[in-house]
Amino acid sequence: MQAPAKSNADRYRSFLFVPGNRPERFAKALDSGADAIIIDLEDAVAPASKDEARDAIAAWLSPERPVLIRVNACDTPWFDRDAQLGKLRGVAGIVLPKAEKAADIIALVSRTKSTMPVFPLIESAQGMFNALEIAKAPCVHRLMFGTLDFCADMNMATDDDVLDPFRANLAMISRVAGIGAPIDGVTPAIDDEDVLKNETLNGKRRGFSGKLCIHPKQVRTINACYAPSDAELAWAKRVLDAFSNANGAAIAVDGKMVDRPVVLRAQSIIESVRA
């Protein structure tokens, strides 16, 4: 399966959840500065409120304010009706929770009948084991790491050092599949900016390029962490200037040899700012 074409969605850094049964919060979420808004029909909405939330979302959707929708998992009684939202204008992509195999993605795409981006959430051992086939499934743009549910499924601590090998695995799989770099899980500590910053930078070091967030106050920190620093930008410009003036000769910048991977890294930093 050919990887989906690159789009702005591949550059998104912050993904803010907003409950699907709180339509009064939708516009506020759009004003938060988040790169993408995820209107949630799953964890944030009680079973008795699922239908009401779905109706509220359908009534609010508009092409002028595109959002992502997190539907309920494939094995739930709400999945079929949730997936129908993917046919409506204003839905820019769908987040699929509890993704465990490529067939889950195919089931979603067959119902939406579109090629809009799909963001599978890897939240279980089975999903992690099958992450490569999930990443190669139709319309998948980026994987999301549902860290809290994953830890619950694995019966292990939520510490970053425990999760880091799995982060590295998802980053490698995304690269092999030719899709965008993965998106990290939420930081539950809403009022602790130091914890949020440390966890965000930790994900960035492991090859992630974005993070889920549960409160608007987290957006600014996440965007700042994933944006190139002034030092990174200056380094990238030095590398590209030296490379363009080298006429094929070997060059060094800051005392270090510059080869093709270094040039590609510098180009990626500059392109991220343009995007």
DSSP annotation string for the chain: -PPPPP-GGGG--EEEEEETT-GGGHHHHHTT--SEEEEESSTTS-GGGHHHHHHHHHHH--TTS-EEEE---TTSTTHHHHHGGGGSTTEEEEEETT--SHHHHHHHHHHHTS---EEEEE-SHHHHHTHHHHHTSTTB---EE-HHHHHHHHT----HHHHHHHHHHHHHHHHHHT-PPPEE-----TT-HHHHHHHHHHHHHTT--EEEESSGGGHHHHHHHHSPPHHHHHHHHHHHHHHHTSTT--EEETTEEE-HHHHHHHHHHHHHHH-
Which residues does the annotation place in the binding site? 70, 123, 149
**Residue 92 in contact with residue 66, Cβ under 8 Å?**
yes
6 has pLDDT over 70: no
User: Strand pairing partners for 39?
Assistant: 18, 69
Q: Please determine, for residue 130, whether its predicted confidence score (pLDDT) is greater than 80.
A: yes
Supply the pLDDT for residue 259.
Answer: 75
Average pLDDT over residues 167-172: 97
**Residue 237 — pLDDT band, cuts 50, 70, 90?**
confident
In this predicted structure, the answer to whether residue 1 has a pLDDT above a threshold of 50 is no
Q: Which CATH superfamily is domain 8-226 in?
A: Phosphoenolpyruvate-binding domains (3.20.20.60)
C-alpha 223: how far from chain center: 13
pLDDT surpasses 60 at 275: no
Q: What is the pLDDT of residues 30-86, one digit of tens each?
A: 999 999 999 999 999 999 999 999 999 999 999 999 999 999 999 999 999 999 999
Task: Give 9's pLDDT tier (boundaries 50, 70, 90).
Answer: low
Sketch the domain layout of the chain as residue ranges. Answer: 8-226, 230-274
pLDDT for 272 beyond 80:
no
Residue 167 banded pLDDT, cuts 50, 70, 90: very high
- Beta carbons within 10 angstroms of residue 12's beta carbon: 25
- What is the pLDDT at residue 229? 73
Reported as a pLDDT band with limits 50, 70 and 90, residue 131 is very high
Phi, psi of 160 (to 5 degrees): -60, -40
Could you tell me the two tokens for 146?
A: 């549902």
Q: Nearest CA to 200 among 210, 190, 191, 192?
A: 210
Please report, in angstroms and rounded to a whole number, the separation of the first and last CA atoms in the chain: 26
Neighbours of 162 (CB within 10 A): 13
Residues of the chain above pLDDT 70, percent: 95
DSSP E strands, the chain: 14-19, 36-40, 67-70, 91-96, 118-122, 144-145, 183-184, 210-213, 251-253, 256-258
Decide if pLDDT at 10 tops 60: yes
Q: pTM score, two decimals?
A: 0.86
Annotated binding-site residues for substrate read 70, 123
Q: What are phi and psi of 217, to 5 degrees?
A: -70, -15
Q: Tell me: pLDDT of 7 over 60.
A: no
pLDDT number for residue 4? 44
Instruction: Say what the pLDDT of residue 210 is.
Output: 96
Please report, in range form, the residues annotated as the binding site for Mg(2+): 123, 149
So what's the pLDDT on residue 3?
Answer: 43
